[in-house]
Structure 1
């Protein structure tokens, strides 16, 4: 039996190293049907697929040519899935192996940004052949004699740039695309660093030299939500992850998320998730 203070470990794919690419059809594991997470970045390109892909407890109906970008720690699972395509996994250390590369290479981290909400990228018929060629080149280089890390990295870089272009194309086709605002991006970053300990809008407004009212006006205009709503969304997501992937008690989780009163945390979670924390955990482990 696992100790209650030890987190369930991240699921490791049966491939090692800082970079891997493999066909989705070659990976058939019942573990994929269960909620799980990885400690690296993942690009999952479903060239042909049906079924459901659940990411951070939100279900997406799979279609052909859907690309999912997953950050380390994001929760996902596949249900009733028929799939063809490719999975590319890599670490930040693989991509940025030194400070010079961090300063000169394309910074892929903003590609994974969810400031305007998470969702898959729909790959156009025009872009698909280029992405397919790049995956074939990555396979060839990785599996060939004398595999060269720099060559793989350049192919990966090109794949990411194509993905970014398709993401922008998707946004342009949206019915009512949200106008960008760097302050919202920075707010998301600030929330990510501080949501466990800073639950007051005043803290975040001060960082922008704005009043709480003005910051709320900006975030509501750009995201449809107030700062408090964004903060609560992040707290609930983290609570769901901890309830699903650790044996820590609800009381321990509440303290880790900055709630001094576990009973208040339970009410907070039920109000936002529609289910009590322990009931959510029980459902996840059925």
Structure 2
């Protein structure tokens, strides 16, 4: 059984609080089109045993369950899990959602045909443990698929902007390294074959302008919510200004709304 230093235990408590801040279920409604595109590309057959790691409020788990996939979702944020459970219950879907940690999955070896993480497991603080767990719980011949923001893409730039105002913990490597191909090859070299990596663009569309987008993230997206909460009034104003500038510069819309595309790395591998 692995042990954690007190510092790592404290960090994981803070990370849990970060992802429970705001309202990820509401925040993710605007992310559904991109999530459905990712899920469609997976071509998951009915009856497939699928584990969704960092499932949020069920962005891909719920539609997969609708299609007859045998879904289990795991997330560190209990409030997101409760939202996913409520959605599944309301639709009468056979899907399970459990509070859990991507570094220590309470799942037997080789349980799932497909282990997937859409912008989720990349945020756990010990990536080598995440990699080992994703592989461990996948059956031999099964698939492991991740989607991770790249450092160069829009969301990568957003996190770098936030990091200038609220420096990240030195205890964990940047989550954006999961979007770096060389790093992924290092992390996923044991127990897998047919490792493939492809970059895609994730669409974001908001029916309001960049200043309102910043406020939307501040209210509903945990990392942005906690970043603002860590700053005094002057710091909050400076962060807001930088984020508004970033969104304005990258905005593809010209009608008062906000639209941008964020690059991510899709990682696919087969379990030996």
Q: TM-score, normalised by structure 1?
A: 0.28
| Structure with the bigger percentage of strand | 2
Structure of higher RCO (CA pairs closer than 8 Å, 6+ residues apart): 2
Structure of larger gyration radius: 1
Q: TM-score, normalised by structure 2?
A: 0.29
